[in-house]
């Protein structure tokens, strides 16, 4: 992990943000991310992100739950300890449907949430640099990665032209680290600039 320089443009209206994203991308700048206070539909496509495969993962977890329940119960009731319950067949599938269903849902939900937290790197005590405190309030914060060749002032002016109400540049750690929000801290302080 290392520190990098980023240029930040803040927008206060999603209807200004969309054309701005388009302009910035056509101009050849690399947008690291746009931080928004709520889910702005279509922004992921505007940024050229691919669709998430989280739902596919959810499907796989669900099937795992189905198989676990079906396999587990049939092994227990027909092989490991076949009990005679009112003379009914040992393999009584209809009676198992409720538990099979519940485990399918349980596995899918728990698996998906854990996967979501893992791939998004979200957990208690995870800390990252927030480019603007109002990104969770009312600003749409566009963060652009810079290279050695980038003229920061030009880029800021470009963003203002595109409708940004506020621009800034940050020299910060780009990943996440273990930390607390009541302390000002930034790890890897003394490393060289790796921005290539």
Calpha distance 176→186 (Å, rounded): 10
x/- letters, 87..126, toward other proteins (CB under 8 A):
-x---x--xx-xx-xxx-xx-xxx-xx--xx-xxxxxxxx
119 vs 194, beta carbon nearer other proteins: 119
Q: Is 36 in the site for other proteins (CB under 8 A)?
A: yes
| 44 phi-psi bin (left φ>0, alpha ψ -120 to 50, beta other) | alpha
Q: Is 163 in the site for other proteins (CB under 8 A)?
A: no
Min dist. Cβ of residue 123 to other proteins (A): 6
Q: Which residue has the tokens 């396999």?
A: 71
Do 34 and 164 meet the contact criterion of CB atoms below 8 Å apart? no
- How far, in Å, are 60, 71, 103, 117, 156 from residue 108 at the CA level? 8, 17, 8, 14, 45
Q: Is 7 in the site for other proteins (CB under 8 A)?
A: no
Q: Is 2 in the site for other proteins (CB under 8 A)?
A: no
Among 28, 81, 190, 192, binds other proteins (CB under 8 A): 81
Calpha distance 95→98 (Å, rounded): 7
Calpha distance 91→74 (Å, rounded): 7
- Positions touching other proteins (CB under 8 A) are 14-15, 33-44, 47, 49, 51-52, 54-55, 58, 62, 72-73, 76-77, 80-81, 83, 85, 88, 92, 95-96, 98-99, 101-103, 105-106, 108-110, 112-113, 116-117, 119-128, 130, 133-138, 141, 176, 180-182
């Amino acid at each position: 992990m290392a520190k990098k320089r980023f240029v930040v443009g803040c927008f206060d209206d999603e209807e200004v943000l969309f054309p701005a994203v388009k302009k910035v991308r056509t101009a050849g700048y690399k947008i690291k991310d746009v931080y928004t206070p709520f889910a702005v539909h279509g922004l992921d496509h505007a940024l050229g992100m691919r669709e998430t495969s989280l739902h596919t993962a959810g499907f796989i977890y669900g099937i795992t739950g189905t198989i676990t329940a079906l396999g587990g119960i049939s092994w227990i009731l027909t092989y490991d300890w076949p009990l005679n319950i009112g003379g009914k067949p040992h393999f009584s599938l209809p009676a198992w449907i409720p538990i099979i269903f519940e485990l399918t849902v349980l596995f899918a939900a728990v698996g998906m949430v854990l996967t979501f937290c893992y791939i998004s790197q979200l957990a208690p005590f995870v800390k990252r640099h927030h480019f603007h405190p109002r990104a969770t309030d009312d600003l749409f914060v566009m963060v652009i990665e810079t290279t050695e060749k980038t003229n920061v002032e030009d880029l800021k002016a470009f963003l203002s032209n595109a409708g940004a109400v506020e621009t800034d540049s940050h020299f910060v750690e780009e990943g996440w680290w273990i930390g607390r929000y009541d302390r000002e801290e930034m790890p890897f302080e003394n490393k060289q600039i790796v921005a290539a």
